[in-house]
Chain A
């Protein structure tokens, strides 16, 4: 491993942390790198640090970045990196890495779980049975078929492409909207989100949150999706106009929703708690023990690659995000 001129007895490369690592990560990476909390870094460390590691979704602002003149790489530990000031990173020529495909499979599995749970009312039926209502009040009302539904996927990246493959196996007709068409994809590209919503029974959000995509799902899109339509969000809460979503669900403008992410986590609009046509989760789509091991591998691979001058494993394309 490389050492810098100012490192002393500890030969491990210096990595600044925006917040403490998960204990499992700290244990796995101990001895390979020298970790210092950015807030605790002395002037020498701040001047020397080439890498900033961002555990969880801790915000990385222009101010944080300004304190680190030698910075070259920001290592994210999540699928989305909207908590990092990407404009500043791009302007300074910094590289940014994310979790790559480590979370993609689990996220896609959970998205499909939410689609089935909303359409087939699984969570609501479970609550019904648990309250002893099946014996008392009779059968739970009919839900609607999953197979054959028209599914629109917003963002056909690591997660979206896996959602597509899974729902195609259910016999769903899959179309997608993204910044540009994917020529290798067998699914139908729809240039306008509004058209995708109008032609879909289920809309799944699996794209990055950027200035362009913020509140992309607004009232117009929800009206187009319609009173029998279902919205599933495993992207970011900010993709959806949340107060409008609550109104549309309450008024029957939109048929149902499966939500893993919210505008102000962990705050969830309480009006949703009383709705049977909604399934709520605590931003857990990505999280399984296996995916946590997977993301640790990606982080380690990126750090190793950087410090030995090799190409990064999961760089985020900054020039196409936040174009404006």
Chain B
């Protein structure tokens, strides 16, 4: 097995360190990695994960100390993984979210973790604002309407609703949430938020609990991490409190919203609309959404632009270099 893996990625001249690559894409990032390191690619090996990790331990002259992994749940950096790869000292993840990494286990074992920092923040924020405008002003729905040739036949598409003065409740005021707030302020929206604790130096209204935030908001934007506390943070009660004129935008994780309750709420007119970039079982999207004109659906792409791709590559390589040089990670998640 080890020879098959070694043959799959012949080391470039002068390469020293080895890196586990747990990522399917064969793109600029992959090519840049191969130019600098000896890359052991899980997806190229064709082996099951435990076998791949065990075989990597036998690599000469040293096993890979660092691993580069994406998010999205395909591979989980959990206890089983870490047990199978005790030689691993650093995990670099390209995802904006960290729910695929067992941070407590990594901390316990002293495994360093580098995240994507703020590479994605502006793109996710841009997309969130785009989704909010789209839901409130029916941009995609009007586009469909015009494309079907209905404008000359049926007249104008129904009115949308003004952004200015809308009270926007941001769930999670980290780097992305703050970027969204900055953009929406320029539209005259009133910004308020919920997070675990109020943020220092922030003038926006803080709501200690989700029901209060939803009651006092015209729109909710979900921008928080997915963990045990935030699973289904937008649930039936929150949707009820948001109300029949309220809209919800989710660019975080599908699991942050109770998807079945969201579908019911939309179907029954308990909320006015939704903009969704993420779903509980991607890439499967509940077909109930497809006939709803007051919903905007995108394919988990808030993070993905051509520009952020190259920014991300620079950052990942930068983190790996820092690790191998014994310097502090550029965008450390662990140690905190």
Contacts and interface: CB of A to CB of B under 8 A. Distances in A.
A129 B144 CA distance: 13
Given A105-B188, A122-B139, A282-B156, A142 B126 contact: no
A117 B15 CA distance: 44
Interface in B118-166: 122-123, 125-127, 129-131, 133-134, 137-140, 142-147, 149, 151-152, 155-157, 159-164
Chain B interface residue bracket vs A: 35 or more
Contacts, number: 185
Nearest to A171: B122
Interface of A: 105-106, 109-110, 112-114, 116-117, 120, 122-123, 125-130, 132, 134-135, 138-140, 142-148, 165-166, 168-171, 265-268, 270, 273, 279-284, 287-292
Interface stretch (B5-13, B39-47, B78-86, B293-301): B293-301
A268 B131 contact: no
Contacts of B285: 129, 132, 134-135
A291 B300 CA distance: 33
Interface string B278-317: 0000111101011000001111110011111100000000
A110 B301 contact: no
B143 A130 contact: no
A228 to B, nearest CB: 10
A269 to B, nearest CB: 11
12 contacts: A106-B137, A113-B139, A116-B126, A122-B134, A123-B143, A130-B289, A143-B304, A169-B183, A266-B155, A273-B146, A282-B142, A288-B159
Contact of B137 (A113, A135, A144, A170): A113
A105 B140 CA distance: 20
Contact of B296 (A126, A170, A290): A126
Sorted nearest first, the 4 A-B pairs with minimum C-beta distance are A116-B130, A169-B186, A113-B133, A147-B122
Contacts of A148: 122, 307
A281 B185 CA distance: 25
Contacts of B204: none
Contact of B306 (A112, A135, A144, A146): A144
B126 A120 contact: yes
B324 interface: no
Interface of B: 122-123, 125-127, 129-131, 133-134, 137-140, 142-147, 149, 151-152, 155-157, 159-164, 182-183, 185-188, 282-285, 287, 289-290, 296-301, 304-309
B137 A165 contact: no
A143 B290 contact: no
A8 B155 CA distance: 40
B183 A170 contact: yes
B309 to A, nearest CB: 7
Nearest to A116: B130
Given A113-B133, A135-B284, A169-B182, A145 B123 contact: yes
A139 B299 contact: yes
Contacts of A126: 134, 140, 296-298
Given A117-B130, A143-B305, A145-B307, A110 B139 contact: yes
